[in-house]
Amino acid sequence: MSLNDNLQELIKISAPLWAGEAEVVRTFWDSPIRSLETDLLWLRRQCFKEFNGKGLGEHKDLGIFLGPLTEIIESFPKIDRDVSRHHVADLIETIQDEFTHYCLFADIYDAIRDENTPPLDPHALQIWDEDKYLTDMRIEQNHAHGEIGIRASHFTEGGYCTLFREGMRLKGRGGNDDLIAEACRVIYEDEFGHMLGGIVGLENEEMSAEDYALMTDLVVKQLRARIKMRNAEFSFPLSEERIEAIYNGDIEPEPFDFDKAADVMAAAH
């Protein structure tokens, strides 16, 4: 399998923005702003995304849990009539993956919180401004552009797994960092596949040059918004000026693992 020129171009344009998101997380780990309090804050926010994040084109915009769950229930009488069994299997896998991610981060939260901090209550979690901006953007694009919007939202899911890749690199530091590294290692494999959900099939498919131009435009808007979403999630380790510089390309692009992508996509066919 080889990726066509349009897809290679999309990846090339995305790579500096993926690197920007990685820089947010990597900077945070060793930043003076890092404390138990800021760790608990990002864990709460990440739990929110894994528990009830929205904007991936899920059923009726109901979020990562209730969207697929509702679709499964509604699909039951239509399985292998109007709805393929493989589609339903994919929905079940989505819930399984994302709820596991929620559990992994919630378990860390409860393991590291101090006695004055109550256990994690997912229903009390709240979105933050920069994440709401990204979510609203995705929902609007998904509705305005149909399949291309949804492909773009999937392709930017996890921002090429940056949080999870940078989290894995904490391995060996001991204590809370080892807990984070282990959770991120498990999630990394799932999220690599979720990102590719946006481009599986596009290597053979006839998508017009205009379609690619539109998808690229949507992806760039989302990836830019992701950097600000992550920066706020992690208590602003990067300055506004640094983010502007990243937007302008002043960064070493994140290398894309074409071999791993080829393996995952071949398995999906």
Residues between 1 and 40 with contacts to Fe ion, criterion CB under 5 A = none
Q: Which is nearer to Fe ion, 23 or 98 (CB)?
A: 98
Q: How far is the CB of 195 from Fe ion (least distance, A)?
A: 8
Question: Measured on CA atoms in the order 170, 18, 266, 147, is the torsion positive or negative?
Answer: positive
Among 45, 145, 194, 224, binds Fe ion (CB under 5 A): 194
* Angstrom distance (rounded) from CA 253 to CA 127: 29
Q: Which is nearer to Fe ion, 20 or 197 (CB)?
A: 197
What binding mask, one character per residue, do residues 84-113 give for Fe ion by CB under 5 A, x or -?
Answer: --------------x--x------------
Beta strands in 82-189 (DSSP E): none
What binding mask, one character per residue, do residues 33-52 give for Fe ion by CB under 5 A, x or -?
Answer: -----------------x--
Residues between 208 and 227 with contacts to Fe ion, criterion CB under 5 A = none
Contact (Cβ atoms closer than 8 angstroms) between residue 60 and residue 67? yes
Q: Which is nearer to Fe ion, 98 or 166 (CB)?
A: 98
* Angstrom distance (rounded) from CA 18 to CA 11: 10
The 3-state secondary structure of 158-182 reads HHCCHHHHHHHCCCCCCHHHHHHHH
| Residues at the interface with Fe ion (CB under 5 A) | 50, 98, 101, 194
